[in-house]
């Protein structure tokens, strides 16, 4: 089952000296994330913001700082090697922001993850945020407020929209988490639902899905068999044409697999309340 980091969790940033890495490191530090190291090959011995030491490798960073979590801003051409590094160093969690990692490479990473203790969130994930505690990734901190609603989404944009809408209506969040929309992902809805089910600080769950793949159907099975907390789902892509890419690689329907109707039916049979818009999510929670 997925385990949530804490405010004290020691975090490293892979690709910390790039534009995106440096910018979002500053944002995470400002929000209270305990960033203790950065990794950029060839830049070992330098410092970022005069407070974060930079190392040449993940192994060196872990050995020197005891960091157990990584947030990854590595370009696609180097992302697979960076993931191999993080998994080999036995990090407990890797949040991969990087997009456009080839499917074949991710299939190899998935096989490696199955033999490791590392959980991968992503690729193409915006990360996760625990309001008033810490954030790992790029979710804007100004849109969240503390509460007891768990939010998990395949779509980064819809995660932001729904979270901001809930905050505006005074509905706080326990955790906001983005799975990433790529075809091959390290974490799925059922993994996060298992955490929410066991978490004493979560009492309601919002699931935001989309066409493509079978992650929502697997979530429906988990909800039907094991979930006791109420789940509200919002599935997008009702009018999307078949066999056409919509947004990113995960949102492709082929041979009727991963279609809107199939996902909605599975969730309804599991007793999930379906919303037709973000506003209906707010109404259901209120």
**CATH number, domain with residue 277:** 3.40.50.261
pLDDT at 192: 98
CATH code of the domain covering residue 26: 3.40.50.720
Looking at the 3D structure of the chain, how many domains does it have?
2
Let me know if residue 129 belongs to a domain: no
Annotated catalytic residue 201: no
Q: At what angle do helices 156-168 and 278-285 cross, to 10 degrees?
A: 40
3-state secondary structure of 104: helix
pLDDT at 243: 56
Q: Which of 31, 18, 44, 158 is nearest to 97 (CA)?
A: 18
Cα–Cα distance, 110 to 178 (Å, whole number)? 18
Q: Which domain holds residue 280?
A: 139-285
Q: Which of 152, 144, 190, 164 is nearest to 282 (CA)?
A: 164
pLDDT at 238: 79
Catalytic residue among 24, 63, 169, 248: 248
With beta carbons less than 8 A apart as the criterion, state whether 60 and 36 touch.
no
Residues paired with 257 in a beta bridge:
254
pLDDT at 108: 96
Q: Which of 238, 239, 233 is nearest to 220 (CA)?
A: 233
* H/E stretch holding 261: helix 260-269
Let me know if residue 4 belongs to a domain: no
Please tell me whether residues 159 and 222 are part of one structural domain. yes
Of the candidates 94, 121, 148, which is a domain's last residue? 121
pLDDT in tens, the chain (286 residues): 789 999 999 999 999 999 999 999 999 999 999 999 999 999 999 999 999 999 999 999 999 999 999 999 999 999 999 999 999 999 999 999 999 999 999 999 999 999 999 999 999 999 999 999 999 999 999 999 999 999 999 999 999 999 999 999 999 999 999 999 898 999 999 999 999 999 999 999 999 999 988 999 999 999 999 999 999 999 998 766 665 555 554 555 454 567 999 999 999 999 999 999 999 999 999 8
Respond yes or no on whether the N-terminal peptide bond of residue 123 is cis (omega within 30° of 0): yes
- Tally the residues of the chain: 286
Let me know if residue 162 belongs to a domain: yes
Let me know if residue 117 belongs to a domain: yes
Sign of the CA dihedral 176, 182, 184, 189? positive
Let me know if residue 3 belongs to a domain: no
Taking only Cα atoms into account, the Rg of the chain, rounded to an integer number of angstroms, comes to 18
pTM of the full predicted structure? 0.94
With beta carbons less than 8 A apart as the criterion, state whether 238 and 189 touch.
no
Cα–Cα distance, 242 to 244 (Å, whole number)? 5
């Amino acid at each position: 089952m997925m385990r949530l980091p804490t405010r004290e969790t020691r975090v490293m940033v892979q690709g910390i000296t790039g534009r995106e890495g440096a910018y979002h490191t500053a944002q995470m530090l400002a929000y209270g994330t305990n960033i203790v190291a950065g990794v950029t090959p060839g830049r070992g011995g330098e410092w970022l913001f005069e407070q974060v030491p930079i190392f040449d490798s993940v192994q060196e960073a872990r050995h020197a700082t005891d960091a157990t979590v990584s947030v990854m801003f590595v370009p696609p051409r180097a992302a697979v090697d960076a993931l191999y590094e993080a998994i080999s160093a036995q990090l407990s969690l890797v949040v991969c922001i990087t997009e456009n990692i080839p499917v074949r490479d991710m299939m190899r990473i998935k096989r490696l993850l199955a033999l490791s203790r590392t959980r991968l969130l992503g690729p193409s994930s915006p990360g996760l945020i625990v309001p008033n505690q810490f954030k790992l990734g790029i979710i804007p901190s100004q849109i969240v407020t503390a509460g007891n609603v768990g939010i998990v989404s395949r779509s980064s944009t819809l995660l932001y929209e729904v979270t901001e809408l809930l905050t505006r209506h005074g509905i706080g969040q326990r955790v906001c988490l983005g799975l990433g929309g790529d075809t091959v992902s390290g974490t799925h809805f059922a993994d996060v639902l298992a955490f929410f089910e066991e978490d004493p600080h979560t009492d309601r769950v919002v699931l935001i899905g989309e066409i493509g793949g079978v992650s929502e159907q697997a979530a429906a099975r988990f909800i039907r068999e094991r979930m006791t907390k109420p789940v509200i789902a919002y599935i997008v892509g009702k009018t999307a044409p078949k066999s056409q890419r919509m947004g990113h690689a995960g949102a492709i329907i082929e041979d009727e697999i991963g279609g809107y109707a199939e996902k909605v039916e599975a969730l309804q049979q599991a007793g999930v309340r379906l919303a037709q818009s973000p506003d209906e999510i707010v109404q259901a929670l209120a």
